[in-house]
Amino acid sequence: MEKVVIIGTGCAGLTAALYTARANLAPLVLTGKQPGGLLTTTSTVENFPGFPEGIDGYELMQRMQKQAERFGARVQFGVLEKVDLSGKPFVLTVDGETVQTQTLIIATGASHRHLGLESEHKLENKGVTFCATCDGALPMFRSQPLVVVGGGDSACEEALYLTRFGSVIHLVHRRESLRASRIMAERVLAHPKIKPHWDSVVTEVLDVKQDKVLGVRLKNVKTNAESVLDCAGLFVAIGHIPNTQLFQGTIHLDDNGYIIPKKGASTNVPGVFVAGDCADHVYRQAITAAGMGCAAAIEAERYLEALNQ
Ligand SMILES: Cc1cc2nc3c(=O)[nH]c(=O)nc-3n(C[C@H](O)[C@H](O)[C@H](O)COP(=O)(O)OP(=O)(O)OC[C@H]3O[C@@H](n4cnc5c(N)ncnc54)[C@H](O)[C@@H]3O)c2cc1C
C-alpha cells in the first residue's frame, strides 16, 4: 500500500515528489509517456527563478527528479490506465498492474492543440512555438514579423504580449470575427501593431528545407485564395487539452476538461489532490506548476497526518 502516488513528472509532479519525499512519505511517482513533462521539449528556459543564464529544459527536469530522488521519491516509468476512487484505499491500474494508495496527486498536465501540419511539427522549436510568454522574448523573434493563429482569449493575449517584441503581429483566424471576450477583442483590434487576417488558415509553415521559420502559407476559407506571409515565428494558440480524461465522472472537471481545484490543491474527492497545468488554464508556466505541486504535497501530507491520528 502506497501513502502517496503522484501521476506525472513535469514541474508539478516532481515538486510534489520533492515535498512528499522530504516529509518521509516515499512517494511513488509515475512518469507517463513523457518523463520530465512538457519542459523537456524546449531548449532554454529563461524564466525559471534561480538560473540567471537560463537552463536547458531537459536538464532542469533531470535536476528536479534527482532532487526528489535524493529524499526518497521513487520515480517509475508507468502510465496510469484506470482509477477507482470510489473507496479507500484508491485503486489504480498502472500498465496492467494494480497499485493501492491512500492519497493521489494528479499532475498530468495539458497538451497543446496542434494545427496538424507536417511542417509545423518539423519546425517546432525552430520558430514554431505554442507559448508566447515562454518564447516571445527570444532574440530570434525580436523586431521581426510574427504570426499568431487563433481567435480566442489566449490567442489575443499572446498577440498583445508579442507586440512588445515583434515588428508586426499577424493574427490569423479562421472566422470573420474573434471568439475572445469583447474587451480583449477590442484591445487587440485597436492595437497598431496587430494585423488581423480573417477567414484564413495556415496551410504550411515555410521553410522546412532551410530548417527555420521564414513565413506561412495562408488560405482564405471563403475564397480559397492563397497568400504567403513573411515571419520569423509562428505562435499556435488554438487551445489546450488537459490530460484528465481518466478522471471524467469522478473528479469535478470544468467544461474544457480542467480539474476544478477545491480549497487550493484539493479536489471533490478527499485524499485526491491536483497540481499544474491539468488544473490551470490561466498561467500554464513551469513555476506556477511547481508552486501548485508544493501546495498539493503539503495538502496530502496534512490529510495523511489527520487520517493516521
Ligand atoms: C515548447 C514549450 C516551451 C515552454 N517553455 C516554458 C518556459 O520557458 N517557461 C515556463 O515557465 N513554461 C514553459 N512552458 C510551459 C511548461 O512546460 C508547463 O507549464 C509545465 O510543464 C507544466 O507542468 P505540469 O507538471 O503541470 O505538466 P507537464 O509538464 O505537461 O507534465 C505532465 C506529466 O504527466 C504525465 N502524464 C500524463 N498522463 C499520464 C498518465 N495517464 N499516467 C502517467 N503519467 C501521465 C506526462 O507523461 C508528464 O510527465 C513551455 C511549454 C512548451 C510546450
Instruction: Please answer whether residues 97 and 49 qualify as being in contact, where contact means their C-beta atoms are separated by less than 8 angstroms.
Output: no
Q: Residue 43 pLDDT more than 90?
A: no
Instruction: Please answer whether residues 105 and 7 qualify as being in contact, where contact means their C-beta atoms are separated by less than 8 angstroms.
Output: yes
Q: Is 134 part of the annotated catalytic residue set?
A: yes
Q: Residue 234 pLDDT more than 80?
A: yes
Q: What is the pLDDT of residue 250?
A: 96
**Set of cell numbers at residue 85:** 476512487
Q: Which residues, including other chains, have CB under 8 Å from residue 193's CB and lie 6 or more apart?
A: 163, 166, 167, 168, 169
Ligand 1 geometric centre to CA of 305 (Å): 30
- Alpha carbon 62 to its chain centroid, in Å, reads 18
**Rounded CA separation 129/151 (Å):** 16
Q: Which residues, including other chains, have CB under 8 Å from residue 180's CB and lie 6 or more apart?
A: 151, 152, 153, 155, 156, 188
Ligand 1 atom with the smallest distance to the CA of 12 is 25
Q: Among 11, 18, 39, which is best to mutate for testing ligand 1, by the most ligand atoms less than 8 A from CB? A: 39
- pLDDT tens digits, 104-134: 999 999 998 999 999 999 999 899 999 898 8
Reported confidence tier of residue 261, pLDDT bands at 50, 70, 90: very high
Ligand 1 geometric centre to CA of 34 (Å): 9
From the candidates 56, 84, 135, 230, give the one annotated as an active-site residue: 135
Share of the chain above pLDDT 90, in %: 89
137 lines ligand 1 (CB under 6 A): no
* Global confidence as pTM: 0.85
99 lines ligand 1 (CB under 6 A): no
Average pLDDT, the chain: 96
